[in-house]
Amino acid sequence: MLEQLEVVLEQLAQSDYALWVQQSWGWAGALTLHAYGTATILGFITIMALRLFGLFPKIPFTALRSLVPFIWVAFLVQFLSGSTLWLTKPFSYLRDGMFAVKLAFIIISVVVMVLFQTMLKREAAGWDAAGTPSPKGVKVAAAICVLWACVVIGGRLTAYLGTLYPV
């Protein structure tokens, strides 16, 4: 089974697309899109969290829901660009401990983001009426900020502490 996986991963790494990414501007383009996706997600989540923490009181909590689709589009950009980067050396990424940590944080962050999105749909109007978010909303907002920050840090540490780029 492991041998079959290695064969498939090697075929992916030697595909025309992976070779194009490695030998052209594909890597730089994918990395740029990945950074853009990261900045968009972290930026909008930070704005949303800061509102729940009490800043920007003139912005209704219900207005925060309009940012959620942008976060999901940015996540799709990150997924596609990250998959492109991964495709250039899939076996190396799968063996890298820091990359595994980053993936774990991504999975947890997505789950918490779905929870946060659901909470915004159900509770934002009530928060507007009360003038303050629920304590649970504040905690989830704080958690999502910390989790996405961990994703970013995990991504950076993959380059420096992982085994992908030997010194």
Tokens standing for residue 40: 């968009």
Query: Residue type at 28?
Result: A
For the chain, the straight-line distance linking the first and the last C-alpha, in angstroms and rounded, comes to 32
Other Cβ atoms less than 10 A from the Cβ of 118: the count is 11
Handedness of CA 99, 88, 10, 17 (dihedral sign): positive
Q: Evaluate if pTM is beyond 0.75.
A: yes
The residue ranges of every structural domain in the chain are: 2-161
pLDDT of residue 137: 96
* Confidence (pLDDT) at 159: 79
The Cα-based distances of 100 to 42, 66, 83, 109, 149 in angstroms read 20, 32, 14, 14, 16
- From first to last of its 167 residues, the chain has per-residue pLDDT tens of 778 888 888 898 999 999 999 999 999 999 999 999 999 999 999 999 999 999 999 999 999 999 999 999 999 999 999 999 999 989 888 888 899 999 999 999 999 999 999 999 999 999 999 999 999 999 999 999 999 999 999 988 887 876 766 55
Exposure on the CB side of residue 21, measured as CA atoms within 13 A = 22
Q: How far apart are CA 23 and CA 18, in angstroms?
A: 9
Residue 109 near residue 144 (C-beta atoms within 8 A): yes
pLDDT computed for residue 165 by the predictor: 65
